[in-house]
Amino acid sequence: MTDSGSEQPPLLLEQDGAVVTITINDPPRNRLGLELMDELEAQTAALAADKSVHAIVLRGAGDEHFSVGMDLKQLPEGVRRMGSIEAVLDQRLRVLAAIEGMEKPWVAVMRGYCLGGGLELPLACHFRVAAAEGAKIGLPELDLGTVPAWGGTVRLARCIGRDQALDMILRARKISGVEAHRIGLVHEVWPNDELQQRAHDLAQRLAEGPAIAVAGVLRSVVGAEDKTLEEALAEERRAVMKTMGTKDQREGMKAFLEKRKPKFTGE
């Protein structure tokens, strides 16, 4: 959040066609404060319902850092507001689950500090692009005597495997964007001056896809870890059948036969 008394909104939203860019607006550290999480929860629900939005880019304000994570100075206030530390953490888990479960792809833009909640938030996104220089990515909670609390242990292990996750968390390692790419934590690495545009280009490419099919893939892939093989295959079949006979499915088939790029409309 922004400093007390500031009139700056905690989040900035900008729409370019079917792509919305959300900016965490507390430069340079972009702390994930109480008001910001309230606003992110509301905006996540609104974006899920907005049919004009097909992809979301998530970034930190300024050119220095994505986010240093939770504003720890606000923790006592959060407990007073919500009644318990569990309630504070539950909201953050709820927001990240809503992002991860949304049937529209999210792209996180990771530069500078991406620490604690500043990594757990990108881990809930479907794509992550990182700066080739200056990124410091990690879950340093053990240095504070505690454990990652927003799903970081689970999502990081699912993303890069148990051994790599244990190495990062138990040694409180802060890795570079290049190393994050090497171990599969991020999808792409770009120079700092290209990073934002590359993330937007990726989101634009995703937004141009057939929306019903994209939603089906996200449902099938994201939820697969919690299902048996038979249940996951049944979800995939439902996703396939939802596309059959749609305008986008017919356009895709026609474009293939005509050897041209399809023009999807989301229908």
Neighbours of 203 (CB within 10 A): 28
Of 2-11, 22-31, 123-132, minimum mean pLDDT range: 2-11
Beta pairing class for 11-16 and 19-24: antiparallel
User: Could you tell me the pLDDT band of residue 4, with boundaries at 50, 70 and 90?
Assistant: very low
Quote the crossing angle between the two packed helices 85-101 and 75-82, to the nearest 10°.
90
The owner of tokens 């607006």 is 25
Whether 208 is a known active-site residue: answer: no
Kindly state the helix (H) or strand (E) to which residue 43 belongs, with its residue range: helix 34-49
Q: What is the pTM of this model?
A: 0.91
**Residue 113 one-letter amino acid:** Y
Half-sphere exposure of 11 (CA within 13 A, CB side): 21
Phi-psi region of 43 (alpha: psi -120 to 50; beta: other; left: phi over 0): alpha
Distance of alpha carbon 261 from its chain centroid, rounded?
28
pLDDT digits (tens, 9 = 90+) for 173-212: 999 999 999 999 999 999 999 999 999 999 999 999 999 9
The catalytically annotated residue of 35, 77, 120, 225 is 120
- Reported as a single tens digit per residue, the pLDDT across 48-107 is 999 999 999 999 999 999 999 998 899 899 999 999 999 999 999 999 999 999 999 999
pLDDT of residue 27: 96
Catalytic residue, candidates 39, 141, 208, 258: 141
Distance CA 185, CA 181 (A): 6
- The closest of 187, 182, 195 to 59, measured between CA atoms, is 195
Tens digit of each residue's pLDDT (9 = 90 or more) over 215-258: 999 999 998 877 888 888 888 888 888 888 888 888 888 888 88
> 10 Å Cβ neighbour count for 39?
18
Lowest mean pLDDT among 1-10, 13-22, 54-63: 1-10
Residue 1: per-residue pLDDT: 31
Q: Identify whether 230 is a catalytic site residue.
A: no
Which one has a higher pLDDT value, 3 or 220? Answer: 220
- What is the pLDDT at residue 235? 82
Tell how far CA 32 is from the center of its chain.
14
